[in-house]
Amino acid sequence: IAGITQAPTSQILAAGRRMTLRCTQDMRHNAMYWYRQDLGLGLRLIHYSNTAGTTGKGEVPDGYSVSRANTDDFPLTLASAVPSQTSVYFCASKRTGDTGELFFGEGSRLTVL
Amino acid sequence: RKEVEQDPGPFNVPEGATVAFNCTYSNSASQSFFWYRQDCRKEPKLLMSVYSSGNEDGRFTAQLNRASQYISLLIRDSKLSDSATYLCAVNIFPRDNAGNMLTFGGGTRLMVKP
Protein backbone atom coordinates (compact mmCIF):
# COMPACT_ATOMS: atom_id res chain seq x y z
CA ILE A 1 0.00 0.00 0.00
CA ALA A 2 1.33 3.43 -0.91
CA GLY A 3 -0.64 6.53 0.05
CA ILE A 4 -4.40 6.12 0.22
CA THR A 5 -6.30 3.12 -1.06
CA GLN A 6 -10.05 3.11 -1.63
CA ALA A 7 -12.30 0.14 -2.35
CA PRO A 8 -14.30 -0.62 -4.32
CA THR A 9 -13.30 1.54 -7.29
CA SER A 10 -16.76 1.19 -8.74
CA GLN A 11 -20.05 -0.26 -7.54
CA ILE A 12 -23.66 -0.44 -8.70
CA LEU A 13 -26.06 -0.76 -5.81
CA ALA A 14 -29.81 -1.22 -5.43
CA ALA A 15 -31.64 1.44 -3.46
CA GLY A 16 -32.18 0.47 0.15
CA ARG A 17 -29.02 -1.63 0.39
CA ARG A 18 -26.27 -1.00 2.89
CA MET A 19 -22.84 -0.15 1.51
CA THR A 20 -19.45 0.53 3.08
CA LEU A 21 -16.70 2.30 1.17
CA ARG A 22 -13.29 1.45 2.52
CA CYS A 23 -10.35 3.83 2.90
CA THR A 24 -6.89 2.95 4.18
CA GLN A 25 -3.77 5.10 4.38
CA ASP A 26 -0.21 4.19 5.28
CA MET A 27 1.18 7.69 5.80
CA ARG A 28 0.28 7.85 9.51
CA HIS A 29 -1.74 10.99 8.87
CA ASN A 30 -3.97 11.93 11.75
CA ALA A 31 -6.70 13.72 9.77
CA MET A 32 -8.93 11.95 7.25
CA TYR A 33 -11.87 13.12 5.18
CA TRP A 34 -14.63 11.86 2.93
CA TYR A 35 -15.80 14.04 0.04
CA ARG A 36 -18.36 13.43 -2.66
CA GLN A 37 -17.99 15.00 -6.08
CA ASP A 38 -20.94 15.76 -8.30
CA LEU A 39 -21.03 17.59 -11.60
CA GLY A 40 -21.57 21.29 -11.06
CA LEU A 41 -21.29 21.01 -7.29
CA GLY A 42 -17.61 20.25 -6.88
CA LEU A 43 -16.20 18.45 -3.87
CA ARG A 44 -18.39 18.52 -0.76
CA LEU A 45 -17.24 17.30 2.63
CA ILE A 46 -19.32 14.48 4.14
CA HIS A 47 -17.48 13.60 7.34
CA TYR A 48 -14.03 14.11 8.77
CA SER A 49 -11.82 12.77 11.54
CA ASN A 50 -9.00 14.78 13.09
CA THR A 51 -7.55 11.78 14.92
CA ALA A 52 -8.35 8.16 15.72
CA GLY A 53 -11.43 7.88 17.91
CA THR A 54 -13.00 11.19 16.82
CA THR A 55 -15.25 12.10 13.92
CA GLY A 56 -17.18 15.16 12.82
CA LYS A 57 -19.87 16.15 10.35
CA GLY A 58 -19.09 18.04 7.20
CA GLU A 59 -21.33 19.90 4.80
CA VAL A 60 -23.48 16.95 3.64
CA PRO A 61 -23.48 14.25 6.37
CA ASP A 62 -27.08 13.01 6.15
CA GLY A 63 -27.41 9.38 5.12
CA TYR A 64 -23.76 8.64 5.86
CA SER A 65 -21.82 7.44 8.89
CA VAL A 66 -18.12 6.98 9.57
CA SER A 67 -15.90 5.39 12.19
CA ARG A 68 -12.24 5.83 13.04
CA ALA A 69 -11.12 2.90 15.16
CA ASN A 70 -7.45 3.40 14.25
CA THR A 71 -5.19 5.83 12.42
CA ASP A 72 -5.13 3.96 9.12
CA ASP A 73 -8.77 3.19 8.36
CA PHE A 74 -11.74 5.48 7.79
CA PRO A 75 -14.73 3.61 6.32
CA LEU A 76 -17.83 5.41 5.06
CA THR A 77 -21.18 3.64 5.39
CA LEU A 78 -24.44 4.27 3.60
CA ALA A 79 -27.02 2.58 5.82
CA SER A 80 -29.79 2.57 3.21
CA ALA A 81 -28.63 3.86 -0.16
CA VAL A 82 -30.78 6.26 -2.19
CA PRO A 83 -30.34 7.34 -5.83
CA SER A 84 -29.24 10.85 -4.77
CA GLN A 85 -26.14 9.21 -3.28
CA THR A 86 -24.95 8.33 -6.77
CA SER A 87 -21.61 10.10 -6.90
CA VAL A 88 -17.85 9.76 -6.92
CA TYR A 89 -16.51 9.47 -3.39
CA PHE A 90 -12.99 10.56 -2.48
CA CYS A 91 -11.18 9.78 0.73
CA ALA A 92 -8.34 12.11 1.72
CA SER A 93 -5.83 12.59 4.52
CA LYS A 94 -3.33 15.10 5.90
CA ARG A 95 -1.31 15.73 9.02
CA THR A 96 -3.38 17.37 11.80
CA GLY A 97 -2.53 21.02 12.21
CA ASP A 98 -0.94 21.13 8.80
CA THR A 99 -2.92 23.55 6.66
CA GLY A 100 -1.32 22.17 3.56
CA GLU A 101 -1.69 19.33 1.17
CA LEU A 102 -4.58 16.89 1.13
CA PHE A 103 -3.73 13.49 -0.30
CA PHE A 104 -6.63 11.87 -2.11
CA GLY A 105 -7.45 8.28 -2.93
CA GLU A 106 -8.37 7.38 -6.48
CA GLY A 107 -12.08 7.57 -5.78
CA SER A 108 -15.02 5.18 -5.58
CA ARG A 109 -17.69 5.59 -8.23
CA LEU A 110 -21.06 4.59 -6.75
CA THR A 111 -24.30 4.24 -8.68
CA VAL A 112 -27.53 3.71 -6.75
CA LEU A 113 -30.45 2.45 -8.83
CA ARG B 1 -24.19 31.79 -1.79
CA LYS B 2 -21.53 29.10 -1.89
CA GLU B 3 -18.50 29.63 0.32
CA VAL B 4 -16.05 29.17 -2.53
CA GLU B 5 -17.05 29.96 -6.11
CA GLN B 6 -15.40 29.50 -9.48
CA ASP B 7 -16.40 30.03 -13.08
CA PRO B 8 -16.97 26.45 -14.30
CA GLY B 9 -15.77 27.26 -17.84
CA PRO B 10 -14.78 25.54 -20.01
CA PHE B 11 -11.97 27.82 -21.03
CA ASN B 12 -10.88 26.83 -24.53
CA VAL B 13 -7.48 28.30 -25.37
CA PRO B 14 -4.82 27.65 -28.03
CA GLU B 15 -1.41 26.35 -27.13
CA GLY B 16 0.89 29.12 -25.99
CA ALA B 17 -1.91 31.30 -24.66
CA THR B 18 -2.03 32.85 -21.22
CA VAL B 19 -5.13 32.04 -19.20
CA ALA B 20 -6.28 33.22 -15.78
CA PHE B 21 -8.82 31.80 -13.35
CA ASN B 22 -10.36 33.53 -10.38
CA CYS B 23 -11.92 32.05 -7.29
CA THR B 24 -13.91 34.02 -4.72
CA TYR B 25 -14.48 33.06 -1.10
CA SER B 26 -17.07 34.39 1.32
CA ASN B 27 -15.50 33.79 4.73
CA SER B 28 -13.14 36.62 5.60
CA ALA B 29 -11.61 34.46 8.36
CA SER B 30 -10.23 32.02 5.79
CA GLN B 31 -6.63 31.20 6.57
CA SER B 32 -5.03 29.23 3.77
CA PHE B 33 -5.58 28.93 0.05
CA PHE B 34 -4.66 26.36 -2.56
CA TRP B 35 -5.03 25.38 -6.19
CA TYR B 36 -5.59 21.72 -7.02
CA ARG B 37 -5.51 20.09 -10.44
CA GLN B 38 -7.85 17.25 -11.36
CA ASP B 39 -7.49 15.23 -14.53
CA CYS B 40 -10.53 13.54 -16.03
CA ARG B 41 -11.72 10.64 -13.85
CA LYS B 42 -8.77 11.05 -11.50
CA GLU B 43 -8.30 12.35 -7.99
CA PRO B 44 -7.39 15.99 -7.25
CA LYS B 45 -3.73 16.72 -6.63
CA LEU B 46 -2.16 19.81 -5.12
CA LEU B 47 -0.86 22.20 -7.76
CA MET B 48 0.32 24.99 -5.51
CA SER B 49 -0.35 26.86 -2.30
CA VAL B 50 -1.28 30.54 -2.47
CA TYR B 51 0.68 32.87 -0.24
CA SER B 52 -0.16 36.44 0.72
CA SER B 53 2.81 37.72 -1.24
CA GLY B 54 1.91 35.70 -4.31
CA ASN B 55 3.98 32.83 -5.59
CA GLU B 56 5.25 31.47 -8.85
CA ASP B 57 6.16 27.98 -9.97
CA GLY B 58 7.42 27.89 -13.52
CA ARG B 59 4.56 28.87 -15.81
CA PHE B 60 2.08 29.07 -12.95
CA THR B 61 1.48 32.12 -10.76
CA ALA B 62 -0.94 32.25 -7.84
CA GLN B 63 -2.11 35.43 -6.16
CA LEU B 64 -4.26 36.27 -3.15
CA ASN B 65 -6.35 39.40 -2.73
CA ARG B 66 -7.67 39.44 0.84
CA ALA B 67 -9.43 42.78 0.50
CA SER B 68 -11.58 41.53 -2.37
CA GLN B 69 -11.59 37.92 -1.12
CA TYR B 70 -10.37 36.15 -4.20
CA ILE B 71 -7.46 34.07 -5.35
CA SER B 72 -6.21 33.74 -8.89
CA LEU B 73 -4.20 31.32 -10.98
CA LEU B 74 -2.32 32.45 -14.08
CA ILE B 75 -0.97 29.93 -16.57
CA ARG B 76 1.48 31.24 -19.16
CA ASP B 77 2.46 29.51 -22.39
CA SER B 78 -0.31 26.91 -22.09
CA LYS B 79 0.53 23.33 -23.02
CA LEU B 80 -1.81 20.58 -24.19
CA SER B 81 -0.95 18.77 -20.95
CA ASP B 82 -2.42 21.65 -18.93
CA SER B 83 -5.90 20.52 -19.97
CA ALA B 84 -7.63 19.62 -16.71
CA THR B 85 -10.02 20.97 -14.11
CA TYR B 86 -8.53 23.44 -11.65
CA LEU B 87 -10.06 23.52 -8.19
CA CYS B 88 -9.48 26.26 -5.67
CA ALA B 89 -9.58 25.32 -2.00
CA VAL B 90 -9.88 27.43 1.12
CA ASN B 91 -9.01 26.38 4.65
CA ILE B 92 -11.77 27.51 6.99
CA PHE B 93 -11.58 26.88 10.71
CA PRO B 94 -14.94 25.63 12.00
CA ARG B 95 -16.61 27.59 14.79
CA ASP B 96 -16.23 24.76 17.29
CA ASN B 97 -12.51 24.69 16.64
CA ALA B 98 -12.70 20.95 16.14
CA GLY B 99 -10.09 21.18 13.47
CA ASN B 100 -9.71 22.65 10.08
CA MET B 101 -10.82 21.45 6.70
CA LEU B 102 -10.67 22.45 3.07
CA THR B 103 -13.68 23.79 1.23
CA PHE B 104 -13.44 23.44 -2.54
CA GLY B 105 -14.83 25.47 -5.37
CA GLY B 106 -16.69 23.69 -8.15
CA GLY B 107 -13.66 23.76 -10.45
CA THR B 108 -12.81 25.46 -13.72
CA ARG B 109 -12.27 23.29 -16.74
CA LEU B 110 -9.42 24.21 -19.07
CA MET B 111 -9.03 22.80 -22.56
CA VAL B 112 -5.86 23.66 -24.44
CA LYS B 113 -6.14 23.12 -28.19
CA PRO B 114 -3.32 22.55 -30.70
Average pLDDT over residues A67-75: 97
d(CA A109, CA A8): 8
Checking DSSP bridges between strand B11-14 and strand B108-113, what pairing results, if any? parallel
Band the pLDDT of A100: cuts 50, 70, 90. Answer: low
Residues on chain A touching B99 (C-beta within 8 angstroms) = 31, 48, 50, 56, 96
pLDDT in tens, B40-87: 999 999 999 998 888 999 999 999 999 999 999 999 999 999 999 999
| Mean confidence (pLDDT) of chain B | 89
pLDDT in the model for residue B112:
97
Among A6, A98, A102, A109, the strongest candidate for a mutation testing the B interface, having the largest count of B CBs within 10 A, is A102
Among B38, B93, B102, the strongest candidate for a mutation testing the A interface, having the largest count of A CBs within 10 A, is B102
User: For residue B4, how many C-alpha atoms fall within 13 Å in the half-sphere facing its CB?
Assistant: 27
Which CA distances in Å does B107 have to A24, A38, B23? Answer: 26, 11, 9
- Is-contact A98 B32, C-beta < 8 A? no
Bridge partners of residue A1, in order along the sequence? none
